[in-house]
Amino acid sequence: MNPENPTSRISRRKFLQTSSRVAAGAALARAMSTGVHAGGSDEIRLALVGCGGRGTGALGNALAVSGPPLKLHAMADLFEKRLATSHQTLTQIYGDRVDVAPERRFLGFDAYRRAMDCLKPGDIVALCTHAAFRATHLEYAIQRGLNVFMEKSFAPDPAGIRHIIQLADEAEKKNLKIATGLMCRHSAARQALIDQIRGGAMGDITLIRAYRMEAGSRMEPWKGDGNELLSQIQHPYYFFWVSTGRFIDYLIHQIDECCWIKDAWPVSALGLGGRMPGSADASQNFDSYAVEYTFADGSKAQVNGRFVPKCYDDFATFVHGSKCAAQFSGNVHAPTVEIFKDQRIGRDNVVWRPEKETIGPYQAEWNSFVDAVRQDLKYNEAKRSALSNLVGIMGRAAVHTGRVITWDEMLSSDFSFCRDIAGLTEQSAAPVRADANGFYPVPVPGAWKEV
């Protein structure tokens, strides 16, 4: 959960506000088989690495899966208060499904190892820290023979994405299952529209428009007191190295939707962006991002993010084909899915809607993942999700550098914001440092490098 962003407070699994509904809604989930998982018994233990709102929400969905109960067995985080809050919340809702004795609650940069060491091969670890740490944690999970759920985003830079792809191949060889937090792929309504698109109902897809525009938030200048590294990790969306920055972390779902709709990766990206005049924001982010992705057939996807107060807001994805238009996604990732008679977007112009979803995509992704673990089915979303993340990095780089960035360029890049993530400790210097006024470096198109 992003505490600085009102929209995020609503969207991030709606967990802390509506968590009781998750437990009640578990009865609606499809019945799961009681097959033995790869670890050799019916019981599956879980470890949670990263106990913020996203991690707590993910574990809520995990514990709500029907069938033989999954049990939360270990937890890890850098910050004691966050771990304690998550443990308390999950215990209040799921009772004895949360079995995390104090000696299995770990703090610190090496806490992820100690939590995973509490599991046996075939169990599940949920990796829900921020993107900077994903590859390091995933590598250890694969070494331990664990199945993995990993939240978005997956890496902040091309070097991290290359590492994730390498690890995805290693997991495949070991028959380990990996689920990712791009939950919209598990939306039944969106899947139905994809079937319509693949069947030719919309003709050739020529344009996709995706928006996330809201008031956003700003960061105060760093005052030089406390631990600068830990402060940056506590405020991840303001720093590219921690979370990918605001554009990717907030818009990765829409970017993934564009690639899913086209069933392809874009060949290039051109972008525009900037900051409000006189901005007092001390973070690294731009206030606006507009990226034009081009696919091999010449079609376009326009992805727009604006984070400026008192402006027009939107949170949706639209598709335009040679025959008609459609809405693919609605406010805060709602399954607002419909096809229109022509190119006009309007409730009075709808010609097709899918059946209403009975299970939300957050829960559906966990149902599918756990079923694959129990039945030993092939299941690995890591490479595809990493490549969608790379599309986001390509767009961010196009805006920040002022250049046209190509897909081939991204695939060959080894750029990294921080080369030794695995070696970070509380005594480490922060990968990016504030200037004398407490402000952090902001991209300057024409001079900036991140590819």
Residue written as tokens 């805006």? 399
Rounded CA gap, 287 and 274, in Å? 6
Say which residues have a Cβ less than 8 Å from residue 346's Cβ, sequence separation at least 6.
340
For residues 269-289, average pLDDT = 96
pLDDT-derived band of residue 43, with 50, 70 and 90 as boundaries? confident
Query: Residue 342: is it exposed, middle or buried by C-beta count within 10 angstroms (0-12/13-18/19+)?
Result: exposed
Give the per-residue pLDDT at 69: 83
**pLDDT computed for residue 55 by the predictor:** 97
**pLDDT > 80? residue 35:** no
Range in 26-30, 264-268, 406-410 with the lowest mean pLDDT? 26-30
Structural domains of the chain in order of their starting residue, each with its CATH number = 6-184+362-380 (3.40.50.720), 190-357+390-423 (3.30.360.10)
Residue 54: what pLDDT? Answer: 95
Residue 72 has pLDDT above 50, yes or no: yes
What's the pLDDT score for residue 14?
52
Q: What angle do CA 247, 216, 450 make, to 5 degrees?
A: 25
> When comparing pLDDT for 18 and 55, which is higher?
55
Work out the average pLDDT over 104-117.
98
pLDDT surpasses 80 at 37: no
The answer on pLDDT for 113 being more than 70 is: yes
Average pLDDT over residues 318-337: 97
Q: 399-408: per-residue pLDDT in tens?
A: 999 999 999 9
pTM, full prediction? 0.92
Predicted local confidence at residue 41, as pLDDT: 60
Mean pLDDT of 368-379: 97
Mean pLDDT of 340-368: 97
Q: How far is CA 451 from CA 240, 243, 390, 432, in A?
A: 13, 17, 11, 17
Mean pLDDT of 53-73: 95
Q: Using pLDDT thresholds of 50, 70 and 90, give the confidence band for residue 42.
A: confident
Question: What pLDDT score was predicted for residue 40?
Answer: 52
Give the pLDDT mean for 313-339. Answer: 97
Looking at residue 9, its pLDDT comes to 38
% of the chain beyond a pLDDT of 90 = 90
pLDDT in tens, 123-154: 999 999 999 999 999 999 999 999 999 999 99
Residue 4 has pLDDT above 80, yes or no: no
Q: Which of 44, 47, 67, 41 is nearest to 59 (CA)?
A: 47
